Copies of this chain bind each other. A is one copy, B any other.
Amino acid sequence: MTEKKDFQLSCPIPISEYPHVLLAHGGGGRLMHQLLEKIIVPAFSNEALEARHDGAVLNLQNTRLAFTTDSYVVKPLFFPGGDIGTLAVYGTVNDLAMCGARPLYLSVGFILEEGLPMETFWKVVQSIRKAAETAGVQIVTGDTKVVDHGKGDGIFVNTAGIGIIERNINISPAGVKVGDAVILSGDIGRHGMAIMAAREGLAFESTIESDCAPLSEPVMNLLAAGIEIRCLRDLTRGGLASALVEIAETSKCHIEIEETAIPVQENVQGACEILGLDPLYVANEGRMVVFVRAADAEKALALLRAHPCGAQATIIGHVHQAPASMVTMKSRIGASRIVDMISGEQLPRIC
């Protein structure tokens, strides 16, 4: 344990700046990072946490484990392509997969609001069961709490997960190196737009379905083929842009991507244009970026495309030395612009 005697004696986010928690503090953007960097990481300082990974990598006796958690507060509970139960399983499975771990065991914690229809609870439990079967994980422990009507919002679900890292690998944002290729596993923005359409009652020409899916199989396939994965990151809150900015900042590299290479489904593009949203920042729940050595890129791409979750995988960019800690994007017309993180998120409570 590190020395804790001189620990901060007052809240490091001054009242004059942010007296209260805002929705944006949970949004995956700058404000959430401030909360993490100023309050959470300093309090719990340890190696695993400081790796800024999707999950913690732990050595127990001779076993290497990944351990991760996420709470799910998505609104509405059911949406085209999934529901809070599906998300709660795949989200945590994906966080484990992003550590290169084979997901094995999940815990489930429910916070139910008094008055929730029993049928709704049952349906969510069935979704969790199906998603766990699909992803090949077991729900081995759990907890249920009920809060007064008006003090919750139907159902909140927390899942924590344990996976096993079977190979001598080291996948982390810090492992990204100059020259690496950046592969995106499929089209972006579908999950966020599916939620928005469901929540706002928007009808587009065709229904936008969430992309939520477990990414563990495609990752295991890459590892089994001996691809040296430098870094993996699934795209959730904050979308592709936030994922890349985080990786650029941790690795101190420059990531350059090409706008024309990024697949966006036509109805998602259309909906984004109508609503003035940038698909780069819209959440996914079944997409990832994979950083590999340039020499491995084509092989990795072929492996990803062989799996239904990666059918549209594509190389969207490369890693350079400078300008350090930055993401830039070459636009359709050839101009280059800086891709930054937004403060909050375009849409709260998408997962």
Chain A contacts to B: CB under 8 angstroms: 1, 4, 7, 11-13, 15, 18-27, 32, 35-36, 39-40, 43-44, 46, 48-49, 55-56, 58, 60-63, 65, 67-73, 104-105, 107-119, 121-123, 125-126, 128-129, 132-133, 138-148, 150-153, 156, 158, 160, 162, 164, 348-349
Beta-carbon contact of B61 and A62 below 8 Å: yes
With A69-B158, A70-B109, A122-B12 known as contacts, the answer to whether A141 contacts B23 (CB < 8 A) is: no
Across-interface contacts of A63 in B (CB, < 8 A)? 60-63
Chain B nearest CB from A117 CB (Å) reads: 6
Contact yes or no, B152 A151, CB < 8 A: yes
Contacting pair B158 A71 (CB below 8 A)? yes
On whether the beta carbons of A46 and B109 are closer than 8 Å, the reply is no
Quote the shortest CB–CB distance from A165 to chain B (angstroms). 11
CB-contact partner of A132 in B44, B123, B144, under 8 A: B44
A162:B25 contact, CB within 8 angstroms: no
**Copies of this chain held together in the complex:** 2
CA distance A129 to B43 in the complex (A): 6
Chain B residues lying within 8 Å of A23, measured Cβ to Cβ, are 114, 146, 148
With both chains docked as a complex, state the minimum distance between the C-beta of A288 and any C-beta of chain B, in angstroms. 18
Closest to A57 in B: B140
Query: How far does the Cβ of A96 sit from chain B's closest Cβ, in whole Å?
Result: 11
Query: What is the minimal beta-carbon distance from A196 to any residue of chain B, in angstroms?
Result: 15
Min CB distance A45 to B, Å, is 9
Give A55's nearest chain B residue, CB to CB.
B141
Are B109 and A58 closer than 8 Å at their CB atoms? no
Judging by beta carbons under 8 Å apart, are B46 and A11 in contact?
Answer: no
Which of the residues B19, B68, B126, B153 comes within 8 Å of A151, measured between beta carbons? B153
CB-defined contacts of A39 to chain B, threshold 8 Å: 121-122, 125
Shortest Cβ distance from A20 into B: residue: B115
Question: Which of B22, B113, B140 contacts A21, CB < 8 Å?
Answer: B113
Interchain CA distance A17-B62 in the complex, whole Å: 51
Q: Which of chain B's residues have a CB closer than 8 A to the CB of A140?
A: 44, 46, 48-49, 56, 58, 67
CA distance in complex: A7, B12 (Å) = 52
Asked if B116 contacts A158 (CB within 8 A), the reply is no
* A144 x B40 contact (CB < 8 A): yes
Q: Give 25 CB contacts A-B under 8 Å.
A: A4-B133, A7-B126, A11-B118, A12-B122, A13-B122, A19-B118, A20-B115, A23-B146, A27-B146, A39-B121, A43-B126, A44-B108, A48-B105, A49-B140, A55-B141, A58-B104, A60-B104, A60-B164, A61-B63, A67-B141, A69-B158, A69-B160, A70-B109, A73-B145, A160-B160
Within 8 Å by CB of A162, from B21, B139, B162, lies: B162
